[in-house]
Structure 1
């Protein structure tokens, strides 16, 4: 309906423009009347803010008229409405079309009161807002001087160390810092989630978790976090390594952990490679650690294996390239290893048939058969799992399923939680479950909740329960 009213207003404007062009004497003042408050507000506002239909017509009206020339008239006084409200018995030609509204014969002060302007939200054009964030000039970390004389005060976070540490964290963990400062949880994709980070003094990001219950100094329980691939971290590791006279990986990593928690710090200190040996007849598995993928380190691992289990008659190998992020580099190294003359000489001396198989292609695990399945099982066994986000506690009355790896799924028991045992931080990790066969004390990772209790009736214990079934 407002669009029809707008067309009527446009028609009246065009008629007025045609009349002015036909008259010899200029018209000093023009009055336009409409009983549509929406049209009135459109004409008073900027035309381009509206959709195309409205914007084009309002724009044409605004080219030759001023907004104060348009006035509001109630519908009952509008002569144009007579055509839409005709009834039987009325005059075919209403008198108001000939004489006009009676209020025009009165003083302008007695005319209908104009309505105040209001923003018309209908037909508004959709707008987009863009936020521009100015990135400051990158900090020149090469200008940061860190040597043995300054290392002690640096590790104690004295002087400008705090500012350098905060700048380092803001470059490495910008989104995590922003969310923690706003009191929000970290995203599930954040690789800091497993560390339960917290903001400490001076808004420095520190290690969190249940280590807070340890009877240690605050800095030892909550060391500041450092990213592994950052110039500041590399400088710290380099200086500490030199100060300790190039000590081993474990010793260096332990020294760093006394002051900072370096993300993947052991990899930054050094890298280790493991070689997996399996017997294709008995499926026995043996794992040896190697310092690198060099020919010398592989032969040392191979010699240790032969010293423990004897000389194999035939050796088959994969290409060992399914390592995320280093596939190309590892591929080149392993290919060089297969072509190394030292390995060939070693095989001749030990009379070992080394079947290369062209080092099975990457991402073709079916070429490897049994040994690839053991590689996958070994990788799954090494990582330690940890809850990364808070889950709702189990409560008394919850219906749960007891997971038993030694029984088929169809024989797993269903029971009700009748006792919970929260820790000092309020998280429930152990509960007591009543089933038709008796009561069982289980850790929550051995339970699967089927239905939450309508009203929790929690009776927590201060300590873990005595051993039971």
Structure 2
């Protein structure tokens, strides 16, 4: 297009007979694009120009110039020929399939009706023309789809009406030739369109346009409200419920507003989730926090480290002074000393811990994962890391963190500054015991004669019943400020139970 515009401009201001051609061997302007060496430029006419410029009359070439452009020239704009093919429709209903909305269909017919009225010398308002177009449009569609029913009504044949599929609707023709629903409401004070709505065929494109039009007007509400809106505006679609249901099912806006989220098919569980093993032989871990505590006059941050058994779903919670490797190793040694040897640990890679604050994420860089792995391998403990940005892989411990944090956040944010490190550890142990008392099965919870539901504490302590009942005694809110720290812990544990 760029070249075509320039060539056209040249052709407008000149004739080909006026043009002269400079051969490329004599044109010094071409030397700049040929990567010539210094010696080649010195021997060329770069500084002197072509020889014909030094002659009395400059005549680069007088021979005829061939202006024929080869057809395969890539710089020539191709000529595009558009072939218009007229659509052949077999019925008026098929013509309606070309419209995407009810308003466009009525507007197109209104233009034709208005032109016809002007030829006859009749003048109508825009509203009258549109109403007339809508009446004509519906009448033609009814004559195509309800042809037999209309003929039976015109003939007033009782025997033929017995086989009419619309006989239960008691149809009749009005003065405009439209097929309306009859019934027993002729003497009611309702609007005429509500008493005798216009019949529209089932599985028809125009009926779908009508349903879509009123579905949009009510803000994409449900099936019942769409049916009522269609009826209130004087239309009766045969099989309206299925038509509206199909419309809502294929409506893009309804899918965005009320569509169900597609769930991903989960992979098979690893062997350490399905094979029976002693508690905490295979476990997953994660960090949560931070929580603010008070040591003297200083406010410090402490973090929680949760271990969850992949077989029994028991949890073990330790307190971390910071996010360093030493604090983590100490917490891991406490787990091994209390729960026994650990053969496998699954964990995130430190960048996607659930519930960690921005500061926690920055401090995670201090956690030297390679050094931890080497120390664990020396103790015959395998350390497996999830893929980056794949926190869903660790759902077994992420879910436990949610269970704990849903209560701890509300309690410790308001009351954390009344605790020090030892009382925070005691409170987290109380929390751990409560979490481990949860039932692993809910099938027999409502059966008074059923067995006691199994809990992780039954596996850890081999004792039946609830291992950690609600704290005994009467603990009130003022105990948060009591000098006896154990009463603070008992009060907060009672809040956790509640």
Q: As a proportion of its length, which structure holds more helix?
A: 2
TM-score normalised by length of structure 1: 0.27
Higher relative contact order (CA 8 A, sep 6+): 2
Q: Which has the larger radius of gyration?
A: 2
TM-score normalised by length of structure 2: 0.26
